[in-house]
Chains A and B, each alone.
Chain A
Amino acid sequence: MRISAQEGDVIVTHALGSCLGVAVHDPVACVGGLLHVMLPLSTIDPAKAQANPFMFVDTGFPELLAECFETGALRQRLEVRVAGGANSWNRGEDDFFQIGKRNLVVLRKLLWKNGLLLKSYDVGGTASRTMSLEIGSGKVTIKSGGQIKNL
Chain B
Amino acid sequence: MALNILVVDDSSVMRAIIIKTLHLSQLPMGEVHEAANGQEALKVLDGNWIDLALVDINMPVMDGEEMINRLKQNPATSDLPIIIVSTEGSESRKEVLMQKGARFVHKPFTPETLRDAILRTLGGLDEQKAGNGTI
A and B touch in the complex (CB under 8 A): yes
Interface residues of A (CB under 8 A from B): 81-83, 85, 87, 92, 100-101, 104, 108, 112, 115-125, 151
Q: List 24 A-B contacts (CB under 8 A).
A: A82-B131, A83-B131, A92-B135, A101-B135, A108-B110, A115-B20, A115-B24, A117-B25, A117-B111, A117-B115, A118-B112, A118-B131, A119-B128, A120-B128, A120-B129, A121-B112, A121-B130, A121-B131, A121-B133, A123-B134, A124-B134, A124-B135, A125-B133, A151-B131
Residues in B with CB closer than 8 Å to A122 are: 131-133
- Interface of B toward A, CB cutoff 8 Å: 20-21, 24-25, 110-112, 115, 128-135
CA distance A138 to B25 in the complex (A): 19
Question: Across the interface, do A85 and B135 meet the contact criterion of CB distance under 8 Å?
Answer: yes
When distances are taken between beta carbons in the complex, the residues of chain A under 8 Å from B130 are 118, 120-121
For the complex, what is the distance from the CA of A87 to the CA of B135, rounded to whole Å? 9
Q: Is the CB of A104 within 8 A of B135?
A: yes
Selected contact of A123 from candidates B20, B21, B135, CB within 8 Å: B135
